[in-house]
Structure 1
Amino acid sequence: MEDGQNAIKILARDEAFYFKNNVGATEDQKCDWLSCESERVSKDLDQLTLDPHQLKYLKGCALNVGNKYNLKAEEILIDAAKMNPTMFEIWNELGDCIWKKGDKKGARNCFERALNQERNKVSLRNLSIVMRQQESVTNAEIEESVKISKEAVSLDVTDGTSWYILGNAYLAQFFLCGQASNDLKCSLNAYSKASADEKVLSDPDYHYNKGIVFKYLDDYNNAIAHFTDAISIHPQFSECLSELNDLKDQILKTRQLIKNKGKLKGKNIAVMLRKLKEKSLSQKPTKVSMTTFDKLNAGTNEDKAINCILISSFVPNGRTPFVCICLDTESNCFALNIYNIDCGKAPKLGDVMTVPYPQKSAVNIVIDNELNDFEMLRIDTPLNMMINNRQLPRETLAPLKLTTTALT
């Protein structure tokens, strides 16, 4: 049994490192290679002296390596489960196999049956993933997904894959449960611990997901670095390439609009500033001190707020954040990224915004041999804002939609 498991581990490792060891290879080339190698390992297993259910289990594992569904693997694993329904490893492998053909309900049933036999990290982390990939997911299920991922980590704190899955669970919680930036920080912490595993580091999805975290933390340098790493491992990673290009376009457009003050002429800017100052004077006293952009500290300003007027806006590639180009009462021009907002109910040109607890950061990055340096603010929820001295209703919220590119 051990010899067979080792052969499959070697195959799985070679599959994980395929693009790293075969620079420039295509997805089709990888599929052809894996198909041949899986069949070879499966046939070699016949030389071992094993119980029938063990042999079928290992053959199913060999044919199930990779992200593509294999009908033969499913049939063999079903036979193995019938022979020994108490072996949780068989249920885990069968669940992983039928998951690849899109049967998430069946996969979840397999992982739960495995857990009925023994609490194990593979079942826990796979159940965590499949729970948050359902068509309709509640906040409670996302929170349970995080809890289950934590349990998987607790069973083996040295397992990089478990840390990676926990990082993904926190990322899903960010997207689906209110976009709390603390979820991103928890995700980043889990990813950092996962990085001790060389296999995780070779996974382009790891770098892609980590890049997404940095992007939504407005840390564009690290986001671009990880998107670039993912593409260097897997040059045909189209989703990642799209994210990278979209982010570069967002940075370039933001910088240009700040530099040109929203392309407004001097007369229009004067009108905007006069409206901003009038609104600011009529504003009721707030619990935090009002200030201007240049007096904000880097990071979160928990005891301050800023009044500004919207002079331009855009939504990168129709997604998020809602990027505002603003002026404050001292004519400072800067970007404000608003998350978790319904763009149909977002601020409009000429609206005066009161932004409490603004988070300030700097962008300093070279794109196409040109330095892009500017400062910006972010706010995680529009419910903390006021527009034209009015609090925004809850209907203004619009949670992000989470899409997945892999089974993690």
Structure 2
Amino acid sequence: MPHFNAFIILLSKSFHGAIKGVQGVENIKKSIVASPREMSTHQNEDGDEDVMKKVTLLTEDLYHLRDTYFPVDPQEKISKLQNHVNFALSLLDSIPSEQWKSTSQRANFEFLRGKILDVFPDYRKEAEDHLSKAVKLNPSFADAWLCFGTDNQVQMVEDSIRHAKEAIALDVKDGNSWYNLGNACLTRFFVTGACDHTKLLPSLKAYQNAEKDESMKSNPDLYFNSATVNKYLENYERALTGFQAAALKDPGLNASEEVEKMGLVRGKRLASLASSLSEVNLNSSHKKLPVRLLLEGVNKEVVVTGKVLLFIKHDSVAPLYYLLCDPEQTYFVLSVYGLRADVITEGDQLTVVAPYFRDVNFLWNSKQYQFKSIRVDFLEQVIRNGKALAPHQAAQTSIYAEHKP
């Protein structure tokens, strides 16, 4: 009898969860008028941001309904899901297209649409297409990456890499196999935190091999993805060239906007932002060098100090860009990965351990781009105002596993 009582309690909780899921969707639907005309009026009153919040809540309740509602007739569940999906999509589509101007907004739109369509147990290509667009618009969109249906994303990526290598072994000149390997390696970079740039090098090499295949010359995604890798590796000229090639082949990829949001800063502009700096004192066994003496690449056993002059705003999620000045009045751009945007502020004194240095100098569209750049990949490399950064100041990637019945 105790076992029977436990079963009754469990059944009761499951039933309550299912009712809650159904009621959650219904409550949101009741709070929003259903006709397009009324919906538009309601939207003007509450604002597009409020509608977006309701779509997000509706999407969450959709998945709660899917995971907790189990009627006797399975078709009843599919029918109810379809009804709520149709409503969620109509609500999402009610937001004017001009509200999706920025890349991050469009990525969020594609993500929500893909996730709503992905609620069904069977495979939906349309859902995958929208999720793919989301990660192309925002390669750092971890939630979108992780909607591709597996409980172990890292294992999924490693399996993809293995399969791609097996295909290459069969035909080393097959550009599509190299392209698939590049995509798998790029995905590994993002699902493992998007900070260890050594994981990008195999991706770049794979894309370069793919480009040797003439049949791949017409693939805009190849150029876009390769440019994305070069952007993260701070090979700016190659990144710009790649995005331009992708834009010419497929304007829908918004590659032109990638050029605009890369946050390039010209040297002449830096000179106008000068301010007096005090010497930064640091007790360290590392050798302290001014920026002018840094070597290209990683400078081991070396530290660089500088003052934060300003935060360089741009549309990409990562990296964070700052303009700094060292004690010799040398200005440089600091790109930081894996750190929350509110940690470093203007006026902070920073010490960078083992800086990765690049002296950027190239001509693009009749404009000369020339500036010194230092990249920080890991939290441990930065000392702010004489203190090491705390683990909670790291940017946390939002990762969750989707349950696929």
The residue that corresponds to 2:207 in the other structure is 191
What amino acid sits opposite 1:207 in the alignment? Y
Deviation at 1:348, TM superposition (A): 0.9
> In 1, are the aligned partners of 2:298 and 2:357 still within 8 Å (CA)?
yes
Deviation at 1:367, TM superposition (A): 4.2
- Aligned CA RMSD, in angstroms, stands at 2.8
Quick one: distance in 2 between partners of 1:245 and 1:204? 18
The residue that corresponds to 2:76 in the other structure is none
> In 1, are the aligned partners of 2:247 and 2:254 still within 8 Å (CA)?
no
CA 1:363–1:399: 2 relative to 1, 3 Å: farther
What amino acid sits opposite 1:376 in the alignment? S
Deviation at 1:312, TM superposition (A): 0.9
Within 5 Å, which residues of 2 pair with 1:248-287? Answer: 250-252=263-265, 255=267, 257-261=269-273, 264=274, 269-270=275-276, 273-274=277-278, 277=279, 279-280=280-281, 283-286=282-285
The residue that corresponds to 2:301 in the other structure is 303
> In 2, are the aligned partners of 1:167 and 1:186 still within 8 Å (CA)?
yes
Deviation at 1:148, TM superposition (A): 3.4
The residue that corresponds to 2:229 in the other structure is 213
**1:228-287 Cα shifts (integer Å, max 9, x gaps):** 1112222x224212212222xx114x64552323xx5xxxx22xx12xx1x41xx2223x
Q: Extract unaligned runs of 5+ from structure 2.
A: 1-121, 130-144, 400-405
> In 2, are the aligned partners of 1:258 and 1:335 still within 8 Å (CA)?
no
What amino acid sits opposite 1:180 in the alignment? D
The residue that corresponds to 2:60 in the other structure is none
The residue that corresponds to 1:398 in the other structure is 395
What amino acid sits opposite 2:303 in the alignment? A
TM-score, with length taken from structure 2: 0.59
TM-score, with length taken from structure 1: 0.59
CA 1:192–1:322: 2 relative to 1, 3 Å: same
Instruction: Please give the secondary structure, in 1, of the residue aligned with 2:358.
Output: strand
> In 2, are the aligned partners of 1:132 and 1:142 still within 8 Å (CA)?
no
CA 1:216–1:401: 2 relative to 1, 3 Å: farther
Instruction: Please give the secondary structure, in 2, of the residue aligned with 1:150.
Output: helix
The residue that corresponds to 1:335 in the other structure is 333
Quick one: distance in 2 between partners of 1:401 and 1:374? 33
The residue that corresponds to 2:96 in the other structure is none
**1:139-196 Cα shifts (integer Å, max 9, x gaps):** 3433343333333333432321111111111111122213211111111111111122
Instruction: Please give the secondary structure, in 2, of the residue aligned with 1:237.
Output: helix
Quick one: distance in 2 between partners of 1:132 and 1:100? 13
1:379 and 2:376 equivalent?
yes
**Which of the residues 315, 339, 353 maps onto 1:356?**
353
What amino acid sits opposite 2:235 in the alignment? D
CA 1:350–1:297: 2 relative to 1, 3 Å: same
The residue that corresponds to 1:101 in the other structure is 126
1:153 and 2:168 equivalent?
yes
What amino acid sits opposite 1:375 in the alignment? K
**1:351-373 Cα shifts (integer Å, max 9, x gaps):** 11111111111222334532121
What amino acid sits opposite 1:365 in the alignment? F
**Which of the residues 239, 249, 260 maps onto 2:254?**
239
The residue that corresponds to 1:54 in the other structure is none
The residue that corresponds to 1:366 in the other structure is 363
Quick one: distance in 2 between partners of 1:141 and 1:370? 43
Question: Which has a greater percent of helix?
Answer: 1
Quick one: distance in 2 between partners of 1:308 and 1:103? 45
Quick one: distance in 2 between partners of 1:132 and 1:150? 24
**1:335-355 Cα shifts (integer Å, max 9, x gaps):** 11111221123x111111111
What amino acid sits opposite 2:283 in the alignment? K
Instruction: Please give the secondary structure, in 2, of the residue aligned with 1:363.
Output: strand
Deviation at 1:291, TM superposition (A): 0.9
Instruction: Please give the secondary structure, in 1, of the residue aligned with 2:126.
Output: coil
